[in-house]
């Protein structure tokens, strides 16, 4: 483990200069520089002081968590088909329910619709990749065609439907996750 590199990463992430970190820890800028370049090693007590100033602790600092996945492939997609409503949902980012937003691809057959969603906090965004859909917000109904998008705060019951004779495909992002 490269302690100096991790300390520098945390310092930069917190928007601190070496001098600002040194001042907070009552150390010299030169010492912080040497630690970040692995030219010297801080004592445990000094390391604890530095980490406290960076908003972490020894346990979290040395916990080598797996890196968060950034790229997702076809094999990662989870698919759920609802024949009654005439749609297929593809979760293109698996386990995104733990994140701030949840993107899906939804394909709606002719005459199909998404499940109505009750009002909730957050925001909804959609981009129609193919076909034409209707966005239903409470008693309002909006036509959205290929290449167009929608964005709203979900303060009313909402869903999308396909009244055309062709399948529609929509990239839909909900924040917080709600699919």
Region for 60 from its dihedrals, namely left if φ exceeds 0, alpha if ψ lies in -120 to 50, beta otherwise: alpha
**Could you give the CA distance from residue 108 to residue 89 in angstroms, rounded to a whole number?**
9
Share of the chain above pLDDT 90, in %: 78
Mean of pLDDT over the chain: 92
ω into 56 cis (within 30 of 0)? no
Please name each of the domains of the chain with its CATH number: 3-62 (1.10.260.40), 74-175 (2.60.120.10)
Question: Distance from CA of residue 175 to its chain's centroid?
Answer: 9
**Could you give the CA distance from residue 75 to residue 177 in angstroms, rounded to a whole number?**
21
Q: Which residues contact 163 (CB under 8 A, 6 or more apart)?
A: 110, 111, 132, 134
Q: Does residue 158 have a pLDDT over 80?
A: yes
pLDDT tens figures, 67-113: 677 888 888 888 999 999 999 999 998 777 678 899 999 999 999 99
Q: What is the pTM of this model?
A: 0.64
């Amino acid at each position: 483990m490269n302690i100096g590199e991790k300390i520098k990463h945390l310092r930069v992430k917190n928007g601190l200069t070496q001098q600002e970190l040194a001042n907070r820890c009552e150390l010299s800028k030169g010492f912080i520089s040497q630690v970040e370049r692995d030219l010297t090693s801080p004592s445990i007590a000094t390391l604890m002081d530095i980490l406290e100033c960076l908003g972490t602790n020894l346990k979290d600092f040395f916990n080598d968590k797996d890196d968060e996945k950034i790229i997702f492939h076809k094999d990662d997609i989870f698919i759920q088909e609802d024949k009654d409503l005439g749609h297929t949902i593809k979760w293109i980012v698996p386990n995104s329910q733990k994140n701030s937003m949840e993107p899906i691809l939804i394909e709606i057959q002719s005459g199909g619709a998404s499940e109505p969603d009750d009002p909730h906090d957050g925001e909804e965004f959609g981009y129609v990749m193919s076909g034409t859909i209707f966005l239903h917000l409470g008693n309002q109904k909006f036509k959205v065609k290929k290449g167009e998008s929608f964005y709203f705060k979900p303060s009313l019951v909402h869903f999308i439907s396909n009244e055309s004779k062709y399948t529609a495909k929509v990239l839909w992002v909900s924040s917080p996750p709600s699919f």
